């Protein structure tokens, strides 16, 4: 039953996004037979270090979506304090609902079933605009962001260029 509800909701969100595209990203299914795996392309936001980049990612939805959050993993190179070296995105709204066992986040900042593919991707775009180096997923990127901003900018500039070449 839950998987059926998740399928209906994901189908509706996919249809809404195809009818009313949102600036900054595109989304579609990896495979037409699986509503639970989406390909997304996030366009680097204007006036940020990521401007002009085309970053691809996979969104994987659990069978009990929207009660549990999807995971998002960049498949293109990404250098950012809130993206693990393997590409997994670490932002509050993708963390399981409820209290944070580490005490870093309020329950209100974590996953809620009201979130949609659109709100998740807009949050990731916002993350690109303003990294949170207080609780980094990529410690090296966070350290570089804080201490050697020019080197950080050079690395991001390289990944933006590579992303443009791969489109």
Torsion angles phi and psi, residue 42, rounded to 5: -110, 130
Given a contact cutoff of 8 angstroms between Cβ atoms, the answer to whether 125 and 99 are in contact is no
Both tokens of 131, joined, read 């990294």
Is 90 among the catalytic positions? yes
Given the residues 90, 117, 124, 127, the one annotated as active site: 90
Tokens 């962001």 belong to residue: 145
Terminal Cα-to-Cα distance of the chain (whole angstroms): 39
Q: Minimal CA–CA distance to 57: which of 35, 95, 28, 34?
A: 28
Q: Calculate helix-pair angle for 139-147, 149-165, nearest 10 degrees.
A: 120
Cα separation, 86 vs 146, whole angstroms:
21
Cα separation, 89 vs 86, whole angstroms:
9
Q: Which residues are catalytic?
A: 90
């Amino acid at each position: 039953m839950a998987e059926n509800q998740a399928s209906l909701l994901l189908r509706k969100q996919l249809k809404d996004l195809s009818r009313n595209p949102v600036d900054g990203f595109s989304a579609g299914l990896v495979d037409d037979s699986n509503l639970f795996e989406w390909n997304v392309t996030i366009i680097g936001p204007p006036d940020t270090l990521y401007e002009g980049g085309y970053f691809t990612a996979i969104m994987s939805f659990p069978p009990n979506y929207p009660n549990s959050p999807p995971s998002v993993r960049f498949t293109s190179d990404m250098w950012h304090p809130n993206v693990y070296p393997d590409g997994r995105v670490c932002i509050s709204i993708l963390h399981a609902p409820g209290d944070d066992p580490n005490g870093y986040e309020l329950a209100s900042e974590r996953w809620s079933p009201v979130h949609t593919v659109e709100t998740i991707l807009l949050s990731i775009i916002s993350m690109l605009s303003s990294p949170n180096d207080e609780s980094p997923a990529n410690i090296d990127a966070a350290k570089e962001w804080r201490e050697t901003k020019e080197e950080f900018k050079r690395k991001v500039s390289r990944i933006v260029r590579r992303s443009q070449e791969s489109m």
